[in-house]
Every structure is written in C-alpha cells, then in structure tokens.
Amino acid sequence: MTEPLEISDEVRAYLAPKDLEGLARARHHTSLNCFVCEGPIRPGSSDRPTVSLFSDPIERVLVAKVAHADCAPSQVEVMDLPREVIAGLAPGSISYIPAVMHLPDPIAAIFWEQNLSVTVRGADGTPFYPYLEHYRALGFLRGEEAPGLAGWKFEFEGDDLLLYREEGRMEEFNGAVEKAPAKWFDAMERTGGCLAMVGVGLGVDRLDLGLLERAWAEDRVAAAMINASPPPDHRAST
Ligand SMILES: [Zn+2]
C-alpha cells in the first residue's frame, strides 16, 4: 500500500513507527487544512499531501502539519526545542511510572507517554495525537472504560516489564521492577492484570497529578486492562 502522505527522510528522522501509522490514520479519517494555503485536505481524496514538522518549545511537542504537494515539500520547518529535549531522545522513547490506583480496590497500573509527542490539528482545530491513535486503533479506550484485550500480555524479563501483543513487542519499561511502588505486585497478583494507560502530556517525568487529571479530562489518555502476573520472587503465594 502506498503511504497516504509524503514524508521526507528529514521529517521521518524525528518520528517513531507508531507516529507514522497514527499520521496515516489521521489522513484517512480527519479533515485537515493545508498550512500554506489553508485549503482543505479531505479524508479519502486522491492527492498525497506532504508532512512538515514544527516544534512547540513551551509544550515540548512536535507539531506535524500537512500541505498540498504543490504548496510545500515535506521538511522540518521549525525546530527550536531545547537541546536537551532533542539530544538523546530517540523517536519513540518513553517515560513511564508504575502506580497503584484505588478504584476503590487496589489495581496495578502503569502510565506512559512518549518523551517527545507529536500532534496534528484537524481542520476544526481538534488536536489529534498519532501515537495515541495507534493504540486506540488496537482497542484501547478512554481511561474509565479500559477494556480487557485478548492476545495482549505484560511479561517481566529481569528488571524490565515488556508489553506484547500477538504480533510482537509493543513497549519496553526498563527497570520497572525497581520502580514499582509498595503493593503494586500484590495488586497485580490479586487481579491478574495491570491497567495500561498511555497518554500525551501526562507529565509522568514530573509526577504531576494535576497534569494527569487534565489529560484524562481532555481525552489524552487511552487505556486497557492487560493480563499480567508478578515475577516469581514478588509473588505473595510462593
Ligand atoms: Zn495548499
């Protein structure tokens, strides 16, 4: 299948595969505007718009904008993020935090987000998050709905927690065993699962509950309940 968007190598260097798949979904399902002539780029139209990247140094996000191929080539237009944000941040690298949520019974949960999120704006101004869309396309729903997903599982490997679906590995949470709070493994063992919560602008690196609540309210979180059991040396029953 031909990609529905023209994306240059220069732009591609900043994007993870999940971003690219999410962008393709945005092209298929969302009305977009050309950032040059402001003309519409409708889902399903036969042209192949270009993707350019801008940056927002305040929010520390990359903003992807589309244009008609005749209006602008696919290129990095503005990249003024702080050097430390760009340096060492491989596309797709994530920050995460394991937590126990009381709903009201204790549930093991893990929150994560990309270190550098990509956003797109629809023609009506609605923000669209390719990385989140990727998970939504695979069955993740709003936080309070969190469906159980067949074929997915969390597995521990040494100190790391890995998220798998049938088709392969989705994420790698390095050092999760060490970062896990008290009672996290107990809650996981009791329910046989872990609540997977992926988002944009969660501030997991800052542990800011206000940011998390805002992300939840603004529908920037996607969740699913995934099968999980603690590693043998963290099981109460052994
Ligand atoms: Zn245009």
Give residue-wise pLDDT tens across range 159-192.
Answer: 999 999 999 999 999 999 999 999 999 999 999 9
Domain match, 59 and 104 both: no
Distance 159 CA to ligand 1 centre (A): 50
Domain match, 67 and 98 both: no
Domain match, 121 and 152 both: yes
Nearest to 181 by CA among 94, 93, 102: 102
Domain match, 120 and 157 both: yes
Q: What is the mean pLDDT of residues 105-117?
A: 91
Task: Check residues 211 and 168 and name the one with the higher pLDDT.
Answer: 168
Distance 30 CA to ligand 1 centre (A): 16
Distance 42 CA to ligand 1 centre (A): 12
Domain match, 65 and 114 both: no
Distance 11 CA to ligand 1 centre (A): 19
Looking at 85, 101, 135, the residue that finishes a domain is: 85
Domain match, 25 and 105 both: no
Distance 46 CA to ligand 1 centre (A): 14
Looking at 29, 62, 85, the residue that finishes a domain is: 85
Distance 34 CA to ligand 1 centre (A): 5
Distance 41 CA to ligand 1 centre (A): 8
Residues that place a CB less than 5 A from ion ligand 1: 34, 36-37, 39, 68, 71
Examine residue 4 and state whether it is found in any structural domain, yes or no: no
pLDDT band at 216 (very low <50, low <70, confident <90, very high): confident
Looking at 66, 85, 104, the residue that finishes a domain is: 85
CB atoms within 10 A of CB 58: 6
Q: What is the mean pLDDT of residues 142-153?
A: 89
Which pLDDT belongs to residue 1? 47
Domain match, 81 and 94 both: no
Distance 56 CA to ligand 1 centre (A): 22
Total domains in the chain come to 2
Distance 208 CA to ligand 1 centre (A): 40
Strands of the chain, DSSP E = 32-33, 40-41, 50-56, 61-67, 94-102, 106-114, 117-121, 127-128, 148-157, 160-165, 168-173, 193-199, 221-227
pTM, 2 dp: 0.86
Which pLDDT belongs to residue 227? 97
Domain match, 67 and 165 both: no
CB atoms within 10 A of CB 139: 15
Domain match, 136 and 228 both: yes
Distance 123 CA to ligand 1 centre (A): 13
Domain match, 108 and 149 both: yes
Q: What is the mean pLDDT of residues 78-98?
A: 78
Which pLDDT belongs to residue 238? 53
Domain extent for 176: 90-234
Which helix (H) or strand (E) element contains residue 131? helix 130-137
